[in-house]
Amino acid sequence: MKTNPAARNSQLINSNSGSSLDILADQYLNYLVFEKGLSEKTIESYSRDLVRYLEFLGSKGVKHISDADTPLILKHLIALRNAGLGPKSCARHLVTLRGFYRFLVHEKVLEYDPAKLVDLPKSGLKLPDVLSISEVNLLLNIPDTKTPLGKRNAAMIELLYAAGLRVSELVNLNFLNVNLEACFVRVLGKGSKERVVPIGVYAKDKIDDYIKNARPLILKNNISRYLFVARAGKPMTRQGFWKLLKHYAQQSGINKKITPHSLRHSFASHLLEGGADLRTVQVMLGHVDISTTQIYTHVAREHLKQMHEKFHPRG
């Protein structure tokens, strides 16, 4: 029998079973499962972070969440760093605590949020690898569209950038969830959250060409519910797509590490640079928490800084 995620996660926080801290943590995890619909993997990550935080509070004699203030949260983060946790892991841990405290304020358990005053460590906000628009154009023009597989690969890479999809969302995209007439795709993201993302005319044209002139040849006599098919109508694996993208990246001569996530990062950064608001980008990326999307504002700010230095008379 498959274990209920909430039940399994409640078992993770049982070092001081029955305490108010444990109960609040369980309530928060249940909220993430049933209200936010986060994946089991994400919930487990949040659980581990909360377990560690509750153990720290216990070691300091804290029995009620209202007794944990901002300095204590900072001490906890320092303790994590001293224990060997890297900046990125510490930053992720703080994101967990921020979400936990926001929940407690929303539920009126606390009047104020002590984690709100704690900044994410700058070294923990690693800027994602982002391609310039000219580099993206170069990469998108590499596949040989004279062959069926080339048409498929060109459509896949174009869609990855056009819609900012995760590689798992791309390879598992259902044929019936693509609306070329309206220019959008319906995507099933993390935690089975569905979202609709526009794709633009370039992706539309390449997908249309692939569907009409390549997909039937690749399928032969097979049928498949997947848009992008490989042998015997099966979907391409994530590893298979990574391999072909790596091949095209090498052919392009771009001197950057290019992964499927590089195109997702580039999608978000180019939208922000073009003037899109953060909330819109959050919805298109399928981020539950806008704090996850905020990392891209650092990329956009760098772009604005460069433009200021280049064009302002006193830049």
Q: Which residues are known to be catalytic?
A: 166, 190, 261, 264, 287, 296
CA distances from 267 to 94, 131, 290 (A): 26, 9, 16
Residues 303 and 273 sit within 8 Å (Cβ to Cβ): yes
3-state DSSP percent of the chain in helix, strand and coil, to 5 = 65, 5, 30
Residues in the chain: 315
Burial grade of 87 (CB within 10 A; 0-12, 13-18, 19 or more): middle
> What does each C-alpha distance from 13 to 10, 27, 28, 31 come to in angstroms?
6, 11, 12, 15
Interacting residues of 156 by C-beta distance below 8 A, sequence separation 6+ = 170, 228, 236, 241
* Structure letter (DSSP) for residue 174: B
- The torsion angles phi and psi of 231, rounded to 5 degrees, stand at -65, 135
Q: Which of 259, 276, 164, 150 is nearest to 206 (CA)?
A: 150
Q: Nearest-CA neighbor of 269 among 164, 150, 192?
A: 164
DSSP symbol at 119: P
Count CB atoms within 10 A of the CB of residue 305: 11
Residue 13 contacts residue 22 (beta carbons within 8 Å): yes
- Cα(241)–Cα(232) distance, rounded to whole angstroms? 17
